[in-house]
Structure 1
Amino acid sequence: MSPELLIAFIAFAFVTSVTPGPNNMMLLASGVNFGLRRSLPHMLGISLGFMLLVMAVGFGLGQLFEQVPLLYTVLRYAGAAYLLYLAWKISRSGAPDTSGTDSGKPFTFLQAAAFQWVNPKAWVMAIGAITTYTPQENFLVNVLLVAALFALVNCPSVGLWTVAGSLLRNWLSNPRVLRCFNVGMALLLVVSLYPILGDF
């Protein structure tokens, strides 16, 4: 990979990772509801799960979808349904109780990693990274490089949303304000599906 292509890819990875999408909306809500420390497994799970997704696309899963388009359609519907379920869960999240513990649980590392496989934005990002930024010469090595670099760029990028949420935590300590915030985050998560749902 040439230095120019590498710089272009890092910019692509940063912009696609830091812009709003399902992962970032959930991390913002997680930061508010559970704080930065309890949201760390969620952040790390996103980065590892996404890295594995990029590798899978690079090693042939994308070609499988081209050969069997029904699989991709099923994945899109399953991902959209799961995102709607998560939006419902976020909208019903409550404030911490008086003992300081939260009424719900943040995503675990494995849940966040598995979520990448039904996250429509993650698929678009992974396919874009492989088709646009992965040179054909030494392709397998370049796939591993692109996947690893994406994970390195992705973790601090999505972490900004978690930090923002944790900074809002005190401001949203009023249960009514927090409920409005959670409903708003749930609605934004649903809105983030618009480009995907528009193609159905």
Structure 2
Amino acid sequence: MRTPEFLFAIWGLLLTPGPTNTLLALSGASAGLRRSARLMPAELAAYLLVVVPLALFGADLLARQPLAAGAVKLAAAGWIAFLAVKLWRVETAGTGDGEVTARRVFVTTLLNPKGLIIGLTLLPRGTSPDFALHLGVFAASVVMVAAIWAGAGRMLKRDSAEPPRLYRRTAALWLGLLAAALVGAALRA
């Protein structure tokens, strides 16, 4: 895949609403863009921990362990469902349960199925001469897309110090749907 095609595919995938993007938008709405920027290194680190080994060794590993992809999907579904319940139950920011932390973004991104797609199909194999360039484009894209999602969340914020309950409940429902879709995909595999 040439670099322009790779960039188009990466941006299309990263911009798609998902669990990490939901958390970033929620953080933007509750904490603002500047405070949400602290979450971006956690997202990038998690993606790199997934995509680099997959690009280097993933195809061979999954060929030998066909149940591994299903197990990852089920683990991701469990984490996303946990986040959905936490967001649904939050009544005020003072509880801390619904706070978007770097740890939550890291774990959510680590379990995000987008990492599997990027590492196994979009990034060139580690032996390719384009690997380093595409990895750099990917890393820059992760940070830029994270800023877009946090900024979009910030734009939703009203005059209150905390995003309305409706935002949290909508995010919780969306995460619940994503978790259900992952369970369905894992069971079909």
TM-score by length of 1: 0.79
Spell out, residue by residue over 1:22-42, the C-alpha distance to the aligned partner (whole angstroms, 9 max, x if none).
111111111122222222122
Match of 1:154 in 2: 142
Q: TM-score, normalised by structure 2?
A: 0.83
Matched, 1:170 2:158: yes
Q: Secondary structure at the match of 1:192?
A: helix
> Which whole-Å deviations, capped at 9, do the CAs of 1:60-110 have from their partners, x for residues lacking one?
03321221122222221111000100111122334446xxx97753322x5
Find the counterpart in structure 2 of residue 180 from structure 1: 166
Which ranges in structure 2 are unaligned for 5 or more consecutive residues? none
1:49 deviates by: 1.9
Moved over 6 A (4+): none
RMSD: 2.7
Trace 1:26-65 onto structure 2 (pairs within 5 A). Answer: 26-65=23-62
Q: Deviations over 1:37-60 (max 9, x none)?
A: 222122222123213322111110
Q: Report which of the two structures shows the higher radius of gyration computed on alpha carbons.
A: 1
Percent identity of paired positions between Structure 1 and Structure 2 = 24
In the alignment, what sits opposite 2:101?
Answer: 107
1:8-27 matched pairs, under 5 angstroms = 8-27=5-24
Q: Give me the whole-angstrom Cα distance separating, in 1, the residues matched to 2:105 and 2:18.
A: 14
Aligned to 2:120: 127
User: 1:39–1:107: 8 Å Cα contact kept in structure 2?
Assistant: no
Unmatched 5+ stretches in structure 1: none
Deviation at 1:6, TM superposition (A): 0.6
By how many angstroms is 1:183 displaced? 0.7
Counterpart CA distance in 1 for 2:19 and 2:108 is 10
Matched residues, number: 186
* Matched residue, 1:91: 88
